[in-house]
Amino acid sequence: MENQTPKAGDQVTKGDRIAKVMARAGLASRREAERMIAAGRVSVNGKLIDSPALNVTAADKIVVDGADVGEPDMARLWLYHKPIGLVTTERDEKGRDTVFANLPKDLPRVMSVGRLDINSEGLLLMTNDGGVKRKLELPATGWLRKYRVRVNGRPNDKALDPLRKGVMVDGERFAPFDVAIDRQQGANAWLTISLREGKNREIRRAMDAVGLKVNRLIRVSYGPFRLGELKAGEVEEIKQRVIRDQLGMAAAPSQKPKPKPTRRRK
């Protein structure tokens, strides 16, 4: 088949970019989909394409590696209790164990909403939908993230005041934290910290700046979604009603969720 890219005048003005459609169908991330297109592995309506600059609708026939791309799954969201020791990436150049290698095998292709570093644990949201991911990650959305944090030392309110005002770390300004001392436990203190940003290792770096060393960090909630009693390594799907109420997103009437157990381990 001759490699052809539909001309700009032939492109459908309605619909979505083809890479987005492929991602929604669970085939790959948008970037991976773009690489597949560039490699000549994708055809639309019988024509091979080599550029992702194409909009498609449900009326278009998309074929990837000789197989038809089916109807995209509805937007879905899962709670995952990330254990310590996993990196939040699909592949790790250092060969470390990953979150995605430890998810249940019957989950569709999913993306993480933000990240937790290798030494952090707790709630990590997973979704099959790029729109949901972006909506939850956007700074303008301002979802409150709450953490239980154990630090070495005996902090008092005065020592934590700089965090409440916002600190500068390595030339980067952190927004004010909401921080409360829960209890002293021997040489360590437990704190509850809430913030609306998601900068790299933000809590650990901010604590270092005020002379406190974090030795445990657990995310317990992300916006309205809570870790609850979910055990390390467990996954629980959020009901469509909750997604609709909290995010204003729902499945199309013709789409029905596939029945799955609500809680399971690998």
Q: What span, in angstroms and rounded, lies between the C-alpha atoms of 229 and 239? A: 17
Q: What span, in angstroms and rounded, lies between the C-alpha atoms of 17 and 30? A: 10
Beta strand residue intervals within the chain, DSSP E:
16-17, 42-44, 47-48, 55-56, 62-64, 67-68, 77-82, 111-112, 121-127, 145-152, 168-169, 172-173, 178-185, 188-195, 213-222, 225-226, 235-237, 263-264
Rounded to 5 degrees, what angle do the CA atoms 64, 70, 75 make?
115
- Say which of 117, 129, 161, 208 is annotated catalytic: 117
Q: Determine the 3-state secondary structure of 235 from DSSP.
A: strand
Q: What is the DSSP code (8-state) at residue 155?
A: -
Q: What is the DSSP code (8-state) at residue 3?
A: B
**Active site (annotated) includes residue 157:** no
Q: What span, in angstroms and rounded, lies between the C-alpha atoms of 144 and 192? A: 13
- Select from 51, 198, 218 the least CA-distant residue to 137: 198
Q: Buried (b) or exposed (e) across 52-76, using 16+ Cβ within 10 A?
A: bebbbeeeeebebeeeebeebbbbb
Active site residues: 117
